[in-house]
Amino acid sequence: MDVITGPDGRSRCAWVGEDPEYRRYHDQEWGVALHGDRALFEKMSLEGFQAGLSWITILRKRPRFREAFAGFDPLRVAAFGQTDVERLMADAGIVRNRSKIEATIANAALVADMADGELDRLIWSFAPSDSAGLGVHPASMEDVPAVTPESTALSKELRRRGFRFVGPTTVYALMQSAGMVDDHLAGCWRAE
């Protein structure tokens, strides 16, 4: 079963399940075009923290992540030092993975060094054309890729620039959540 009907009578992608927070995320955020360096830095960071975990874990911890990482303001996060790393490692409200924490701080420094709007332009320059991304809805979860040529190319460019925790699968999840591709399944109300 790839599409389920929620308590409100709407059909949704089945990965939402019964969780109200997941349903809200699916209905209001996932697949909606997201712009802005800060917003995309946050999304990139959270997708990096999600690697190896379920997205609902990250979604439930997102408010604490925002507090712990200064609202994902790249300038503020870039200024974090070893004391901040230790503070974050002790914070049970986030994912306590030293490599991911240090990567987020290093990535913030890279974003802070970019011109205003450059991260947004860079990421969106890898959005697929309509025929390859938007407007064509997968029939089932089996039809949703984990990696695409665009996510591979964007991952390669981000890594060339020094970004970490931005592999092709993580980048494709970013592309989905930021609305660069629309993987709402055929039959989901968001695909209409």
Residue 35 among known ligand-binding residues: no
22 annotated active-site: no
Catalytic one of 55, 124, 157, 189: 55
Q: Is 189 a catalytic residue?
A: no
φ and ψ of 45, to 5 deg:
-65, -45
Say if residue 26 carries a ligand binding annotation: yes
Closest CA to 188 of 134, 137, 130: 137
Residue 137 known to bind ligand: no
Q: Which two tokens stand for residue 99?
A: 């490599």
54's CB contacts (< 8 A; 6+ apart) are none
* Residue 14 buriedness (CB in 10 A; 0-12 / 13-18 / 19+): middle
Q: Collect all residues with Cβ–Cβ distance below 8 Å to 132 and sequence separation of at least 6.
A: 148, 150
Q: Which pair of structure tokens corresponds to residue 148?
A: 């695409």
CA distance 15 to 187: 14
Catalytic, 25? Answer: yes
Task: Exactly one of 42, 47, 150, 172 is catalytic; name it.
Answer: 47
Catalytic choice (15, 25, 124, 189): 25
Longest dimension (CA), the chain: 50
Task: Check whether 13 is labelled as a binding-site residue.
Answer: yes
Question: Which residues contribute to the annotated binding site?
Answer: 13, 26, 184, 188
Residues marked active site are found at 25, 47, 55
